[in-house]
Structure 1
Amino acid sequence: MYNEGEKIRRRYDRLAPWFDGLEGFMEGLFFRRFRKKLWAEATGPHILEVGVGTGKNFDFYPRSAYMTAIDFSPKMLVQAQRKRDRKQIFVDLAQMDVQSICYADNSFDTVIASFVFCSVPQPRKGLKELHRVLKPGGQLLLLEHVLSSHKTIAGIMNMMNPLIVALFGANINRQTVKNVQACPFQKIFIDPASTDMIKLIRAVK
């Protein structure tokens, strides 16, 4: 029997060839401008992207940084490798689970993830791993969709969540701000550009 992480990985493997097309409308309407704002905050000579997926963030990579990117889905990484080669992006890609990162402590100046922690089975475990691999004073940048603060909308999201997870492997009712606050970061900021259900989060180690 597959564990929860393996089930989610298999769903993303299945969706990988069509993933960009499935999210194309929302990407153009909302997500791309949030990605651009998130990546404008990325600093330092060594940056890690978690959940690189098909490489949607490649256009925003800082030219001056050494880029490393990971994903737990091998089929997503195939799409990312093709896009990397086509766009001539310089990035080291590796298959890795955010809940068990194979990099040393204090390795990265910035760790960045967009719409990743909706699909991590144990999000606080993953966030603590990101804290571990950050250098002291380094920053974690997150773009995440979260549970609405409005009671009625939140109730609908909670009701729909099992179906969304079954179809796409992503939870729509995560409380990622609280999960970040539960980790040993020194400072946490929520960007004013955030909305009720889309949060731009910056946390400093």
Structure 2
Amino acid sequence: MNKQRDSAHTRSRYDLLAPVYNLMEWPLERLLFQSWRRELWREVEGPQVLEIGVGTGKNIPFYPDHITLTGIDLSPRMLARGQKELAKSGKKHVTLREMDAQQMNFEDHTFDEVVATFVFCSVPDAVAGLQEALRVTRPGGTLHLLEHMRSDHPLLGTVMNTIDHPLHYLSSVHIARRTVDNVEKAGWMINEVQPLSFTGIVKRIRATKAGRDVEHHADQE
């Protein structure tokens, strides 16, 4: 895998889609995604929080007021829309920066919690991005993910595998990633996996970075 080339591909696709991105996802946002985002952010305590893939700022309305948040995104055009959303929100203690999740410009152990929603389907090397998230998280810190991934259903999962490559070329999105496995491969300790659809395509994942007084337990449904 050529990370620089693959990152450039992903950046170009999201730069192209930025003007219409919210419109493309509007039905699913209204019906499902907004409520899932709201529930996720209710669990974020901070105080120092990193959001990977802030995009057009869909999570900004749900940021808790008591946290200090840094949001990053690979695409400058997506990030510009996120900056406009942030300005409208009046949220304080939020900084947005252009950055590649696979190679972050933060010191080790910077954040208490890391959040990403529908992001690790498009990070070129998902395990590398999750390892970077682990590096910048303090021992005992938490990873909160809301992600779509390969279905648990055998037939649907096979179909998703088949069409994953052409869809990725067109949109930079992978639809057949095994994100729960990737989180574990990156070194996180899985605490909870919560399916949000009967096909298992969308899941909430909560994981912890090893540290003092942290127990490793899995509660996968």
- Once residues 12 and 198 of structure 1 are traced to their aligned partners in structure 2, the CA distance between those partners, rounded to angstroms, is 21
Q: Could you report, residue by residue, the CA deviation over 1:107-128 in whole angstroms, capped at 9, with x for unpaired residues?
A: 1111000000000111111101
Q: Following TM superposition, where does structure 1 have runs of at least 4 consecutive aligned residues deviating by more than 4 angstroms?
A: 192-195
TM-score computed with the length of structure 1 as normaliser: 0.95
3-state SS, counterpart of residue 94 of structure 1: strand
* Count of aligned pairs between the two proteins: 205
- Once residues 25 and 193 of structure 1 are traced to their aligned partners in structure 2, the CA distance between those partners, rounded to angstroms, is 17
3-state SS, counterpart of residue 203 of structure 1: strand
Instruction: Point out where structure 2 has 5 or more consecutive residues left out of the alignment.
Output: 210-221
Residue 67 of structure 2, aligned match among 42, 65, 68:
65
Instruction: Point out where structure 1 has 5 or more consecutive residues left out of the alignment.
Output: none
- Once residues 18 and 31 of structure 1 are traced to their aligned partners in structure 2, the CA distance between those partners, rounded to angstroms, is 17
Superposition pairs of residues 47-86 of structure 1, within 5 angstroms:
47-86=49-88
3-state SS, counterpart of residue 87 of structure 2: helix
- Once residues 78 and 170 of structure 1 are traced to their aligned partners in structure 2, the CA distance between those partners, rounded to angstroms, is 21
Deviates more, 1:96-105 or 1:39-48: 39-48
**CA 200–80 in structure 1, closer or farther in 2 if over 3 Å, else same:** same
- Tell me what 2:119 maps to: 116
- Tell me what 1:150 maps to: 153
TM-score computed with the length of structure 2 as normaliser: 0.89
Q: Could you report, residue by residue, the CA deviation over 1:12-54 in whole angstroms, capped at 9, with x for unpaired residues?
A: 0000011100100111111111111111111121111000000
Deviates more, 1:28-37 or 1:121-130: 28-37
- Tell me what 1:6 maps to: 8
3-state SS, counterpart of residue 108 of structure 2: coil
**CA 163–186 in structure 1, closer or farther in 2 if over 3 Å, else same:** closer
Give the percent of matched residue pairs that are identical in Structure 1 and Structure 2.
Answer: 41
